[in-house]
Amino acid sequence: MTTPSYSTKKRLVVIFFSVTIIVFVLVIRLGFWQIVRGEDLKKEALEQWTKGIEIKAKRGVIYDKNGKKLAMSISAYTVWARPADIKEPEKTAKLVADILNLDEKTVYDKITKNQRTEKIKQWISNDEATKLRQSLVKDKITGIEIIDDNKRYYPYGNFASYILGFTNIDNDGLYGIEKTYDKFLKGTPGKWVKTTDVAGRQLPFGGEKIFDAKDGLSVVLTIDETIQHFAEKAATEALVQNKAKNVSVIIMEPKTGDILAMATKPDYDPNEPREPLNEEEKKEWDNLSQEELQKKWYDMWRNFSINDAYEPGSTFKIITSAIALEENVVTPDTPFYCNGFIRDIPGVVLKCSRWYNPHGAQTFAEGVRNSCNVVFVNVGRKIGKEKMLEYIKAFGFGENTGVDLTGEQAGIIPKSVSSIKEVNLATISYGQGIAVTPMQLITAISSVANGGNLMKPRIVKELVDEKGNVQQEIKPEVKRKVLSEETCKTLLGILESVVYEGTGKSAYIPGYRIGGKTGTAQKVIDGKYAPGKYIASFAAIAPTDDPKIAVLFIIDEPSNGAYYGGVVAAPIAGELVEETLKYLGVEPKYSEKEKEELSTKVVVPDVTNKTISEAGKILSNLGFKYNTEVAEVTENSVVIDQFPLPGTEVTKGSIIDIYLKEKRKDNEAMIMIDLKGKSRDEAVKELDELNLKYRFTGNGIVKDQKPKAGEEINSDTVVEVELSEIKE
Cα distances (Å, whole numbers) of residue 223 to 528, 574, 653: 37, 20, 29
Distance, CA of 610 to CA of 258 (rounded, Å) = 39
Are residues 465 and 500 in contact, defined by beta-carbon separation less than 8 angstroms? no
Relative orientation angle of helices 317-326 and 373-383, to the nearest 10 degrees: 40
- Give SS3 for 123: strand
Paired residues of 458 in beta bridges: 258
Cα distances (Å, whole numbers) of residue 48 to 196, 201, 720: 8, 12, 83
Distance, CA of 441 to CA of 447 (rounded, Å) = 10
- Give SS3 for 151: strand
C-alpha closest to that of 369 among 498, 492, 494: 498
Are residues 495 and 518 in contact, defined by beta-carbon separation less than 8 angstroms? no
Furthest-apart CA atoms within the chain: distance in Å = 152
Angle, alpha carbons 471-476-482 (nearest 5°): 160
Angle, alpha carbons 171-275-246 (nearest 5°): 110
Alpha-helical (H) ranges within 477-629 are 485-501, 570-583, 592-598, 612-621
- In one-letter notation, the amino acid at residue 226 is T
Distance, CA of 540 to CA of 302 (rounded, Å) = 25
- In one-letter notation, the amino acid at residue 598 is L
CA 372 vs. chain centroid, Å, equals 34
Are residues 186 and 219 in contact, defined by beta-carbon separation less than 8 angstroms? no
Are residues 191 and 213 in contact, defined by beta-carbon separation less than 8 angstroms? no
- In one-letter notation, the amino acid at residue 112 is T
Q: Is 584 exposed, middle or buried (0-12, 13-18, 19+ CB in 10 A)?
A: middle
Distance, CA of 75 to CA of 58 (rounded, Å) = 9
218, 314, 371, 620: the active-site residue: 314
Paired residues of 79 in beta bridges: 121, 146
Query: Does residue 715 have an active-site annotation?
Result: no
Distance, CA of 651 to CA of 510 (rounded, Å) = 12
Angle, alpha carbons 330-334-336 (nearest 5°): 110
Active site residues: 314
